[in-house]
Amino acid sequence: MPVKIASWNINSVRARIDIVERFLREEQPDVLCLQETKVMDDIFPADMFRRLGYGHHVLNGQRMHHGVAILSRLPLHEHGRHDWQDNGEARHVGVRLECGIRLENVYVPAGGDVPDAAVNPKFGQKLAFIERMTRWSDDLREPTLIVGDFNIAPLECDVWSHKQLVDVVSHTPIEIEALGRLQASHDWVDLGRRFVPAPERCFTWWSYRSKDWTANDRGRRLDHMWASPQVAAAATAHKVHEPCRSWLKPSDHVPLVTEFDL
Q: Output b/e per residue, 111-147; b: 16+ Cβ within 10 A.
A: bbeebebeebeebebbbbbbebbbebbeeeeebbbbb
Q: Can you name the residues that pair with 3 across neighbouring β-strands?
A: 260
Number of domains in the chain: 1
The radius of gyration of the chain's CA atoms, rounded to the nearest angstrom, is: 17
DSSP assignment of 114-137, as one string? -S-TTT-HHHHHHHHHHHHHHHHH
> Confidence band (pLDDT; 50, 70, 90) for 168?
very high
Task: Calculate mean pLDDT across residues 115-132.
Answer: 97
pLDDT in tens, 211-257: 889 999 999 999 999 999 999 999 999 999 999 999 999 999 999 99
Q: Could you check whether the bond before residue 199 is cis, i.e. omega within 30 degrees of 0?
A: yes
Give the CA distances from residue 204 to residues 179, 183, 211, 254, in Å, rounded to whole numbers and listed in that order: 17, 19, 17, 5
Q: How many CB atoms lie within 10 A of CB 179?
A: 22
User: pLDDT at residue 175 above 90?
Assistant: yes
Whether this prediction's pTM lies above 0.95 is answered by yes
Residue 210 has pLDDT above 90, yes or no: no
Closest Cα to residue 79, out of 46, 63, 103, 55? 103
In percent, the amount of the chain with pLDDT more than 90 equals: 97
Closest CA to 45 of 26, 74, 77, 21: 21
Q: Give the Cα separation of 193 and 206 in Å (integer).
A: 19
CATH number of the CATH domain containing 158: 3.60.10.10
Give the range of the structural domain holding residue 182, as residue numbers without chain letter: 2-261
Residues 25-58: tens digit of each pLDDT: 999 999 999 999 999 999 999 999 999 999 999 9
Average pLDDT across the chain, whole number: 97
| DSSP 3-state of 212 | coil
